[in-house]
Structure 1
Amino acid sequence: MSELAVHTTEIPGLLVIDLPVHGDARGWFKENWQREKMLAAGLPDLGPVQNNISFNQAVGVTRGIHAEPWDKYISVATGRVFGAWVDLREGPSFGARYWREIGPEVAIFVPRGVGNAFQTLEAPAAYTYLVNDHWSEAAQTQYTFLHLADETAAIPWPIPLADAELSAKDQHHPRLADVVPVPPRRTLVIGGNGQLGRALAALWKGRSDVDIVGRDRLDLADPASLEAFDFSPYGVIVNAAAYTAVDTAETPAGRREAWAVNVTAVGRLVEAARTHRATLVHVSSDYVFDGAAVLHDEDEPPSPLGVYGQTKAAGDQLVATLPSHYLLRTSWVIGEGSNFVATMASLAERGVDPVVVDDQIGRLAVTTDLAAGIDHLVTTRPAPGAYNLTNDGDPLSWAQIAAEVFALTGHDPARVRTVSTAEYYAGKDGIAPRPARSALDLTKIRSTGFVPREQLAALADHLAQQRATSASPTS
């Protein structure tokens, strides 16, 4: 009896699973699908929703080669089959092949887009498979086929196809040279008009598999807009949208909208990602913390001070229920559009000397670096979970950042006057509490191989890019 083990093959993602089979004179028993043990052994979390059985009465029954729009977990309950697989996905592994005999002691994990076929060697043969999406007439139109006798794949069928039993359809599938490769699942960016959405659009502008949508196409504040949107094509959903009016969130109307966008809509995104087996990348905030710690790490329990932070913390809890998610906590976001740096640069240029708080400490997150970090995570696929993502360097106050903006734009940094938070907001109503310390611990994101840039270097590049854009005749 073999031990439970998962083995890779020549086809990326196609896995062979050794199944322990316990037998005696009465027959045998096996755990055909045991999620906890199999995930621990290295199998992806299949999440099956349908179980199918192909019962084959005779030796030589041959079926395939079919690539389907879902993942499959294949095994044999009775008899033995010769299984063959060909990668029909777009990319460098297109056309890669693998074959082997399988019986009750072996299972195969077949990722979406890999063509699958089998031929019965012992009959009757019960060929079973779990799939993680429901079959439908519409889904069948997304199948991709390859001829069983394709000369390039050159599958060594134990029983020659001339002597085997094939369906009429399987005899008329295309050769490999005529197969249109299965494209990767698409990536959706929500909040395309925001600072991070624009940075992601710029980073991924050469990709044909990315859709950037603004509020005109998907409005998180509108339940009907979410209900009408088709999430089924997407394997990655990046939520770069949020309600971020920190002070307005303290008002009755603002509180309702903050909860609608940052919690209720996020819950709907979580369920859409769960339904369609997508990875959800969700951008959160330093405002989920009270600012008591010098550095906030990913394991710190949430302790928000105001309504905005409360809604972001609640949304984080929903996102964490997904098996495949990246929850990105960031702070002091700076990109194309209205933000603190743009305001300071404008004041410097107009000769206005600002008063800026010097007791709120944190780090910038320039959106080009945020976008690069997101790209890194969805490309390298480290363990799912929460990741802090900002620029690196010594934490600074808002006043120090303002002074740096003045210096980088050719103005006297001494023009920036400093004040405490309490003094700045004295006598003002409807002001949300701010965390005093917003710096996030970047150890975990560094451990994935991503190296955040130092914040002042990133700020200098950002301001230089803004000047170049402003000077451009097409801007």
Structure 2
Amino acid sequence: MTEYAKPLSVTETPIPGLVVFDLPVHGDARGWFKENWQREKMTALGLPDFGPVQNNISFNDAAGTTRGIHAEPWDKWVSVATGRIFGAWVDLREGETFGAVYTTELDPSKAIFVPRGVGNSYQTLDENTAYTYLVNDHWSPTASYTFLNLADETAAITWPIPLDQVEISDKDKAHPRLQDVTPMPPAKILVTGSNGQLGKALRDALGDAPHVEYTTRDTLDLTDPELGTARRWRDYDTIINAAAYTAVDKAETPEGRAAAWAANVTAVTGLATIAAQNGITLVHVSSDYVFDGTKDGAYGESDPVSPLGVYGQTKAAGDAAVATVPRHYIVRTSWVIGDGNNFVRTMASLAERGIDPAVVDDQYGRLTFTPTIADAIRHLLDTRAPYGTYNVTNTGEPTTWYDIARDVYRLTGHDPDRVTPVDTAAYFENAAGPVSPRPRNSTLDLARITATGFTPDDARELTAGWLSSPA
């Protein structure tokens, strides 16, 4: 008997992501009405905004009809239009909860959200039962499923009507026992720009798991007009965009300007479109260059952008494109130090070669080591932190490039007084080619990222460790 006038509410289950909703059903002598799927109200209660694209109905004539256990590569919103079912769900995803079981009855006043990779099955308890479900991918005969036998002894599901007394397809009878099931792997993660400094750090942070795909410009052209069909994008959960044009001064030339806009805007807009259309989380790395550096104090995530040069303009435009994606993280950073050529290694090399450099002393900020950025990205994804923009640099008092150079000389056993301070205008006045204007203040406020439980290491301590590691 359908229960009327229940408040809309959600109940967690032992299977992560599998949640049951009580639905308000309004009835009278004529029948009943319910909001079977109401995006605004249900997402407010924590349901993922999973973006359904297809609605299916399975009509069952007889009580006892039994189907499953099928784990599919998409999310499902399962409900009952008429009748009742006994539902059983088994976690068939890789991980600690593999094999966990949850059962309950569903009638028109209840629905359940079934995440990708959780095995779904049901047995009808009434005649003329209509079982309906929304999915967030179009059915495909080539989709990869995972199955479990309805009679599996480990799951030990207590079916209301014994399985030897009900209608089951031969295919469902042939599904494997749990010990023979190959768990469904996580949805794919795509990392672009994987040969760059940040890309290498992401390789270290994410490892070589089969579901993580690393691409370079040679293996995936992000500016290709056919990018939208270059992959089956519904198979991806996350795109981490570590590709960018970062030649700040060269961006001021006609050729560099075109290249910067192609990599930092056209390519990013393409990824943003793909992510929005396919429910993918897009992680994008931004820069302190989106600010003009005139603020007194650290820049927060909500401060208005005002870039000075072409590079900063393209990064700001790329950020704006990414911000349109419902599931996005913009990781804004500064003064990046990674594997390969960087300011710290350059200063160490100059010290060893007996060169006494002049280094600017009127630009302020903090160094950011690429492993810190990679770890922060992984933290945001693992903890499912609220989407949006996060500043990520290493910690410590803001300093200048001149101060950092002196630290490098001291840490490598050289006299820091060999470094001479110079202001930005004097440093660049004799430059051989175009020079991009730099923000004088690149200090970023870290309160938001630390509030999620991630506290970056101190920049000066990491500098010492970086210099002691092999080049």
TM normalised by structure 2 equals 0.95
In 2, are the aligned partners of 1:364 and 1:455 still within 8 Å (CA)? yes
In 1, are the aligned partners of 2:227 and 2:270 still within 8 Å (CA)? no
Q: What is the aligned counterpart of 1:103 among 101, 107, 110?
A: 107
Q: Mark the CA change 1:285 to 1:85 in structure 2 (over 3 Å): closer, same or farther.
A: same
Q: Deviations over 1:422-447 (max 9, x none)?
A: 11122545211111100100000000
1:405 deviates by: 1.0
Is it true that 1:172 corresponds to 2:174 in the alignment? yes
Task: Give the AA of the match of 1:245.
Answer: A
Q: Secondary structure at the match of 2:410?
A: helix
Q: What is the aligned counterpart of 1:85 among 85, 89, 112?
A: 89
- What residue is the counterpart of 2:417 in the other structure? 414
Q: Deviations over 1:192-248 (max 9, x none)?
A: 111111112223336443232222212335556775355454322211110011111
Q: Deviations over 1:245-277 (max 9, x none)?
A: 111111221111111111111111122223443
Task: Give the AA of the match of 2:258.
Answer: R
Is it true that 1:434 corresponds to 2:432 in the alignment? no
Task: Give the AA of the match of 1:309.
Answer: G
Is it true that 1:256 corresponds to 2:258 in the alignment? yes
For residues 274-285 of structure 1, the aligned pairs below 5 Å read: 274-285=276-287
In 2, are the aligned partners of 1:361 and 1:437 still within 8 Å (CA)? yes
1:188 deviates by: 2.1
CA distance in 1, matches of 2:224, 2:465: 37
Q: Secondary structure at the match of 1:256?
A: helix
Q: Deviations over 1:172-203 (max 9, x none)?
A: 11111111111112322211111111112223
Q: What is the aligned counterpart of 1:124 among 99, 123, 128?
A: 128
Is it true that 1:372 corresponds to 2:346 in the alignment? no
- What residue is the counterpart of 1:198 in the other structure? 200
In 1, are the aligned partners of 2:223 and 2:270 still within 8 Å (CA)? no
Q: What is the aligned counterpart of 2:243 among 232, 241, 247?
A: 241
Q: Secondary structure at the match of 2:170?
A: coil
Is it true that 1:310 corresponds to 2:317 in the alignment? no
In 2, are the aligned partners of 1:366 and 1:462 still within 8 Å (CA)? no
Task: Give the AA of the match of 2:189.
Answer: T
1:156 deviates by: 1.3
CA distance in 2, matches of 1:291, 1:20: 53
Gaps of 5+ in 2: none
- What residue is the counterpart of 1:2 in the other structure? 6
For residues 42-441 of structure 1, the aligned pairs below 5 Å read: 42-139=46-143, 142-205=144-207, 207-223=209-225, 228-229=230-231, 231-293=233-295, 294-428=297-431, 430-441=434-445
In 1, are the aligned partners of 2:347 and 2:409 still within 8 Å (CA)? yes
Is it true that 1:14 corresponds to 2:28 in the alignment? no
Q: Secondary structure at the match of 2:341?
A: coil
RMSD: 1.5
CA distance in 2, matches of 1:109, 1:226: 28
1:459 deviates by: 0.9
Q: What is the aligned counterpart of 1:446 among 440, 450, 463?
A: 450
Could you tell which deviates more after superposition, 50-59 or 369-378?
369-378
CA distance in 1, matches of 2:231, 2:404: 40
CA distance in 2, matches of 1:179, 1:453: 42
In 2, are the aligned partners of 1:223 and 1:265 still within 8 Å (CA)? no
CA distance in 1, matches of 2:258, 2:108: 56
In 2, are the aligned partners of 1:148 and 1:171 still within 8 Å (CA)? yes
- What residue is the counterpart of 1:473 in the other structure? none
Q: Secondary structure at the match of 2:381?
A: helix
Gaps of 5+ in 1: 471-475
- What residue is the counterpart of 1:26 in the other structure? 30
Could you tell which deviates more after superposition, 410-419 or 213-222?
213-222
Q: Secondary structure at the match of 1:257?
A: helix
1:356 deviates by: 0.9
CA distance in 2, matches of 1:403, 1:30: 70
CA distance in 1, matches of 2:50, 2:230: 27
Task: Give the AA of the match of 1:103.
Answer: D
Is it true that 1:458 corresponds to 2:450 in the alignment? no
In 1, are the aligned partners of 2:222 and 2:271 still within 8 Å (CA)? no
Identity of aligned residues (%): 62
CA distance in 2, matches of 1:455, 1:445: 16
CA distance in 1, matches of 2:28, 2:231: 54
Q: Deviations over 1:273-292 (max 9, x none)?
A: 23443221111100111112
Could you tell which deviates more after superposition, 68-77 or 285-294?
285-294
Task: Give the AA of the match of 2:355.
Answer: V
CA distance in 1, matches of 2:286, 2:244: 9
In 2, are the aligned partners of 1:221 and 1:257 still within 8 Å (CA)? no
Q: Mark the CA change 1:380 to 1:355 in structure 2 (over 3 Å): closer, same or farther.
A: same
In 2, are the aligned partners of 1:220 and 1:226 still within 8 Å (CA)? no
